[in-house]
Amino acid sequence: IASSKSLTNAFLNQNSNASPDVIQEVCSPCGQRRKFAVEFEFLSKVGEGSFGDVLCARHKLDGQCYAIKKIRKPGMSPHSIMNALREVHVLSSLPPHLNILSYKSAWLEDACSSVYIQTEKLDSLLISSSEHIRRFVVDIASALRYLHASNLTHMDVKPSNVLVRKCAQRDSFDYVLIDFGLARKSDASLKEDTEGDARYLCPLRMELSCAEYVMYNKAEKLCAIDIFALGVSAVELALKLVAERVETESDGLEVSKFLKSCKQQILSKALNESKSKFLY
């Protein structure tokens, strides 16, 4: 049996120096396949972004529906493909967790210009009560605690990166953290300044480069960035929820005072990196 190369998962192997040579092997003519068209039935497009599209598709053998993230960048170099596979390496390195997206498989197509990532199919974010906001914070804090304990930082926590997994058996649901395309080791020596949505970044990170921030905040590494983003997300969801229920101008003024107080309490804790475990 001929031996074959495989990528070393940098998030599993602390001393990984894996080269993208295996990409060349997978992208050779004999390594090309049409897995999506052959094995899946396309149902709908459920999301899109600068990276590409998220598709809903049914697997023809097991009959289950999955989310298929298609990252398409024509002419991607092996190095670019390795960057696109960062999410795959993070998700596959983590044991299952209730509040973290469940990874299934990944593959390359279209002359290696497309990366496909198969994950569980989830539902849209549901926030219709203060109890939902509390659950949102508790569930995503649990996901972050698990990530941080695994020496990983998400780097892009925000409401649009949270979906819902419904459980018919217990008539409830869980909030699930998704999109690990920017995730990295919490203590990594960063060579790039890739970051998430600037609207959710803590002020100190806005002032410093990633490398400078890590040096300044060695105690909590990059974890505080996730905690602050979760605090901002909670405030944003609360504001949207209340705005939908305000009927009069006087109601709005009272609510504004209340939210200002809540915002100061939540963000003051999230801003204090020395207390970045307050949600755990």
Tell me the C-alpha to C-alpha distance, in Å, between residue 20 and each of 13, 81, 188, 202.
15, 8, 20, 34
66: which strand partners?
57, 120
The CB density around residue 183, as the number of other CB atoms within 10 Å, is 24
Q: Known binder of ligand: residue 70?
A: yes
Tell me the C-alpha distance between 94 and 148, whole Å: 11
| SS3 state of residue 264 | helix
Give the number of C-alpha atoms closer than 13 A to the C-alpha of residue 264, restricted to the C-beta side: 5
Tell me the C-alpha distance between 162 and 232, whole Å: 14
Q: Which two tokens stand for residue 259?
A: 């939210």
56: which strand partners?
44, 67
129 secondary structure, DSSP code: S
Given 139, 156, 179, 226, which residue is catalytic? 156
The answer for 56, left when phi > 0, alpha when psi is -120 to 50, beta otherwise, is: beta
- Is 197 considered catalytic here? no
Residues in the annotated binding site for ATP: 70
Q: Which residues are catalytic?
A: 156
